Structure 1
Amino acid sequence: MRIAITGSNGKLGRAVVERLTRDGHEVVGFDRSGPAGSGFTLVDLLDYGQTLDAMLGVTARHDGVDALVHLAAIPVNGLVPDATTFHNNLTVSFNVMFAALRAGVRTIVAASSITAMGFPFDEPPPYLPVDEGFTAANNTYGLAKVLEEAMFAQLVRWQESTSITALRFTNVVGEDEYDSFALAGDPSYRRDLLGSYLDVRDGAELVALALTHARPGLETYVAAAPDSGLEIPSRELAATWCPGVELRRPLGEHESLVSSEKARRELGFEARHLWRHEYRGSRSE
């Protein structure tokens, strides 16, 4: 397939480009900055005209795409004013999705976020492990993600064959970013993430699986490692961070409080890069 990737020059975007290229796909990157070359086009995704034109074709690059991976966004609150984060991300997502549908693209994978399910969890979720069944926004980045998911649910109705898969990514950790896990014994570490994380290579794997298993309609999946990012037992973390919150099943010793079980069950997702091994490896180099 020929696959367009927005945000192709970001941390996750680069890993997705590498993974899909390795799988034999032709990849076309769209971003506001990046390396000149046959696999990349500079696009201002806030401009709908540019976005639609780039989706339809770019001379010397492509004449249309078969699928879309939408990762482009201001990645967190704080980089720009809060309202700017919201306006930018929601507008970009509308432009990209609407242009894709107008261009005849019917297979789409989009980055949603743990911020659409309560991050930073100052108000505990109603149950643990928290999963796709809970939606809440507590900042403008998360509010945009909640509204994007609502938009996706409507857009798939407009064309019966359209598939949109929204992946609720937690904190994505690069291969060279494991030193912070030296704090894994501190009960305040990753508190706002309920201890969750995901290796960037596993994130790219999940994107590839979502493309492979695409089916008409909207599906939402949590994108997190199956284990907690702390040394402290998960049952103890749940009692400390979310006292009185229902445990829907007995927790494994270091089971994640953010469940990716649906992705495992329906997409065959198995995270292969877990912090206990990666951190030891980074320290031994």
Structure 2
Amino acid sequence: MIADFDYQFFIEVLVGGLLSGVMYSLVAIGFVLIYKTSGVLNFAQGAMLLFAALTFVSLVERGVPFALALVATFAIMVAIGIAIERTVLRPLTNKPPITLFMATLGLSYIIEGAAQLIWGTQVHGLDLGIEDVPLEVGGVLISQFDIFAAVVAAGMVLLLSLFFRYTRIGLAFRAVADDQFAALAVGLRLPLIWATVWAAAGLVALVAGLLWGARLGVQFSLSLVVLKALPVLVLGGFDSILGAIVGGLLIGASEKLAEVYIGDYFGGGIESWFAYVVALVFLLIRPSGLFGQKLVERV
């Protein structure tokens, strides 16, 4: 049986899963940025992703040049992120986590409604100029679009990592993530840091929205991509960018391999729910995730 195993096909499935996992990681990072600094599970991230993709494709269809549409959409997403932080979440500072979660859940519906009001409900095709055709790399067939998406997502992750590690605002972000009260004590301006983080989340939503919109089409179900990020966060940890990357790779690879090699035993379609089974099992073993900080409560 081992001699009959098709290793080349296995590598193709594995690589395809890893490349998909990079795109999952990109969505998950939007959650991590907000949660790490404010403790808010931003369920509006999916709606922001949808709004970004819909805004961009609508501008392009109206004759706006690609580059200008990209810049305009980026400015809009930054403005939305800052507006959310100032008008909704800042007044709810120090409220119970369930209150903040419900606020972001309500925001997701408001943003989707605004997108429908401004741009309409029709489905759009999004062409980034990259064809989804297989390329042969070392004898392994890999989707050209998957390679492009993985490179863009990896570049975004690297850019954010460098920004938060080597800039002053990045150092402040890390200080707030470690201890908000200590950060306040040394004079750091939390509102400015939160606004910057929400602006970064808007940028992540734009990049993720374009990549997922090009793959799935720009439609309102695109906001459900956010659900794919939840198993990633469970595995990697809700407060770790590295965890979002590793968790995305693990989820992407495991669900592809499961669909191909054991999907027939479950009647097919296992890829749509297998990640949640993995996440549930992982919650029972390590609730804080691979890289998440363990909560210590003093009684």
Higher normalized contact order (CA 8 Å, seq sep 6+, divided by chain length): 2
Higher Cα Rg, which structure: 2
Answer whether TM exceeds 0.5 for this pair: no
Higher helix share: 2
